[in-house]
């Protein structure tokens, strides 16, 4: 009996969805890092403290890879009660893109008002690493992209201009880039929640 599958792309990592195979064999390869790594680095003032938590999608409509990543300015505040710890500065979610996934550009797509910097690629202010999901089947064109991370849940028509909502009441304090998936008509976010020790 045929296995029901969705209209989404399928990963054939095992034989679960393979009905039959003739004159074929699966050969697993060891992944190898590209020799030019890192493929892009901290070359903007608003990235001076860090550049982490990357979300990358291939956009068939634009025929390119799109990347959203977290950056922070070089702002150091020594905590008086813990002088060995330096607090990070402002967080941002920034945007980059690539035709081949190797050579990246950081187009100045950020709106004015999101940063004091001119010609920036900041698309979400204050974001703490987001997971971005493209949902072309959403009937509302303003919600074609979804993002979650930190205390932010957001929607966007193009992955650049975002409408933000705070979801701290739902998830509490969390960090580390979450995972966002669409499953059986629902959106599920997997986050790392931070609780105070009892």
The pLDDT profile of the chain, 198 residues, written as one tens digit per residue, is: 667 777 777 777 777 778 788 998 888 889 999 998 889 889 998 898 888 888 999 998 889 999 999 998 865 555 566 555 555 567 889 999 999 999 999 999 999 888 888 899 999 987 777 899 999 989 999 999 999 887 788 999 999 999 988 776 666 666 677 888 888 888 888 887 766 666
Exposure pattern of 13-35 as b/e (b: 16+ CB <10 Å)?
Answer: eeeeeeeeeeeeeeeeeeeeeee
What is Dmax (Cα atoms) for the chain?
A: 68
Alpha carbons 82 and 148: distance in angstroms, whole number: 31
Measured CA to CA, the distance from residue 108 to residue 100 in angstroms comes to: 20
How many C-alpha atoms does 164 have within 13 Å on its Cβ side? 16
DSSP tag of 168: H
Distance, in Å, from the CA atom of 54 to the CA atom of 120, rounded to the nearest integer, reads: 18
- 64 in Cβ contact with 97 (< 8 Å): yes
Separation CA 45–CA 140 (nearest Å): 36
At residue 39, φ and ψ (nearest 5 deg) are -75, -25
Per-residue pLDDT at 89: 62
List of E strands, the chain: 50-59, 64-72, 77-79, 82-87, 91-98, 104-105, 122-125, 131-134, 145-149, 152-156, 163-166, 174-183, 186-193
At 182, is the secondary structure helix, strand, or coil?
strand
Helical H runs in the chain?
A: 168-171
* 33 vs 101: CA distance, rounded Å: 13
Question: Positive or negative CA dihedral for 85, 41, 66, 34?
Answer: negative
């Amino acid at each position: 009996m045929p296995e029901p599958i969705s209209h989404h792309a399928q990963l054939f990592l095992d034989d679960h969805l393979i009905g039959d195979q003739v004159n074929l064999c699966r050969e697993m390869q060891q992944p190898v890092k590209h020799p030019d790594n890192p493929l892009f680095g901290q070359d903007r003032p608003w990235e001076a403290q860090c550049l982490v938590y990357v979300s990358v999608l291939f956009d068939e409509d634009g025929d390119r890879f799109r990347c959203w990543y977290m950056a922070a300015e070089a702002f150091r505040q020594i905590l008086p009660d813990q002088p060995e710890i330096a607090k990070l500065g402002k967080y941002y979610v920034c945007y980059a893109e690539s035709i081949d996934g190797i050579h990246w550009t950081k187009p100045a797509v950020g709106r004015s008002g999101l940063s004091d910097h001119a010609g920036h690629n900041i698309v979400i202010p204050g974001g703490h690493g987001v997971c971005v999901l493209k949902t072309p089947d959403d009937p509302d064109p303003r919600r074609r992209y979804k993002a979650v991370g930190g205390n932010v849940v957001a929607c966007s028509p193009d992955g650049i201009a975002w409408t933000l909502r705070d979801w701290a009441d739902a998830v509490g304090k969390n960090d580390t880039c979450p995972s966002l998936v669409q499953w059986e008509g629902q959106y599920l976010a997997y986050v790392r929640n931070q609780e105070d020790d009892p």
